[in-house]
Amino acid sequence: MSSKYVIIIKGCDIVLYKKGDSKLKNNQAKEFIFDTEIFNDDIDLKDIAALEGFYKKNNYLPTQYISLFLNYITYYTRSSVLNPLDDPLTADYKNKCSLAASINHELLTKMGFEAILFNVGDVMGTNKIHQLCMVWIPTMIDNKLVKKAYLLDPTFRQFCLAEENRYERYFEEERYSVRRATPHPGYFMKLDSSGISLAEDIIKYGYFEVTDAKLKRYFDSYYFYLKRKEEYKDEKMLGKEYISPISGQEYYDKVMRNKLDFKVGDYGAITTPLERIVKERNKLKNRLKYFISHKDPLASEIKFEDDNLKF
C-alpha cells in the first residue's frame, strides 16, 4: 500500500536583530565613533546545524562556510548576553565581555572545536581589561587540512563610545579600576585606515581571522589605551601614536602563555544548532503522529521525509 501522507519536516529560519523589536531602547542616546551597523542578515538554523553535523563527520568546515558559521556564533552570543529591554542593534555591550567570551567558548567547545579563553590585561601585563575567546577552525585548502585561527570579540563596541574616545580623556580623572585617563581602544583604531577597517569588521561581525598584521593592530589599540600621558617623551605625539614596538607574533605568543583555566561544564543552558533542530523535529513528528493516529486508520503508512540535515 502506498503512503497516504508524506510529511516534509522543514527547517526553521532565525531572523536576527529586528529593528523595533525591543520594548524599550535603553541605548538610543549612546553615540559611537564608528557608524558601523551590527550584522543583521537572516540565518537559516538548519544550515548551521548541517555545518555542525558536517564537522562532526569530517573534522573540518568548508572554507566558504566559515563566515556563515561564525556569524551565527556571534548572533547566539550577543543575543544571550543582553537583557530583554536592550536593543542588540544599538547596545554598547558594556561589561558583557566575560559572559560573551564564556558563551563563545562553551558553544564552540561543545561542538568539538579547539578554543581558549584569555584576558587582554594578562596579555598586556596589567590588570584585567577585556576577556576574549580564540578558536581554531580546520578547513581544506588545496586539498590540505589547515587550521585557521579567529579572535572572537562580539562586545568590542563598548570601546567605541564617543564619550570615552575624546582626546580630552588624557586630562580627566581615571574611573574605576580599568578606566584609564586615556581614550579607549576605538580612538587608536581610528587613527589609520587599517585600524578603521578592522574595527568596523569587529563591530559588525564580532570576530576577525588572526593574521600577524591584524593581531598587532588590534592589540596595539590596547597598548596605547594603557599608555598614560606621562609616559610620552614627546608631548606632541600624545594621542597620535598607534604603532607599538610589539609584533603580531609576540602578541600571539603572549595570548598562548596567558590562557585562562576553564573547566568545561555540562552545557545545560547551551544548545547547539543541531540539538535545536533535532529537538524541534522530534517534537513536530510526535505531534503530527499523535494527531494523525487519532484521525486516520492509515497512520501506520505515514512517511517522514526530513530535508533539514543534508551533510
Q: pLDDT of 166-186, one tens digit each? A: 999 999 988 766 678 999 999
Per-residue pLDDT of 85-121, as tens digits, reads 888 999 999 999 999 999 999 999 999 999 999 999 9
Per-residue pLDDT of 210-219, as tens digits, reads 999 999 999 9
Spatial contact of 309 and 55, defined as CB atoms under 8 Å apart: no
Helices assigned H by DSSP within 95-211: 97-110, 120-124, 185-189, 193-205
Nearest to 130 by CA among 88, 191, 180, 195: 180
Nearest to 17 by CA among 84, 75, 81: 75
- Main-chain phi, psi angles of 64, to 5 degrees: -70, -10
Q: How far apart are CA 23 and CA 21, in angstroms?
A: 6
Q: How far apart are CA 28 and CA 88, in angstroms?
A: 11
C-alpha cell at 235: 608631548
Nearest to 253 by CA among 158, 127, 123: 123
Statement: residue 32 has pLDDT above 70: yes
| Of 10-14, 191-195, 254-258, minimum mean pLDDT range | 10-14
Q: How far apart are CA 281 and CA 11, in angstroms?
A: 8
Q: Which residue has the higher pLDDT, 279 or 18?
A: 279
Helices assigned H by DSSP within 84-136: 97-110, 120-124
Beta bridge partners of 146: 139
Spatial contact of 43 and 72, defined as CB atoms under 8 Å apart: yes
Q: What is the pTM of this model?
A: 0.84
- Tell me the pairing of strands 6-9 and 303-306: parallel
Would you report the helix, strand and coil content of the chain in percent, each value rounded to 5? 45, 15, 40
- Main-chain phi, psi angles of 18, to 5 degrees: -85, 130
C-alpha pair distances (Å), 250 with each of 135, 253, 302 = 18, 5, 62
Q: How far apart are CA 171 and CA 102, in angstroms?
A: 35
Nearest to 135 by CA among 155, 119, 117: 117
Q: How far apart are CA 195 and CA 202, in angstroms?
A: 11
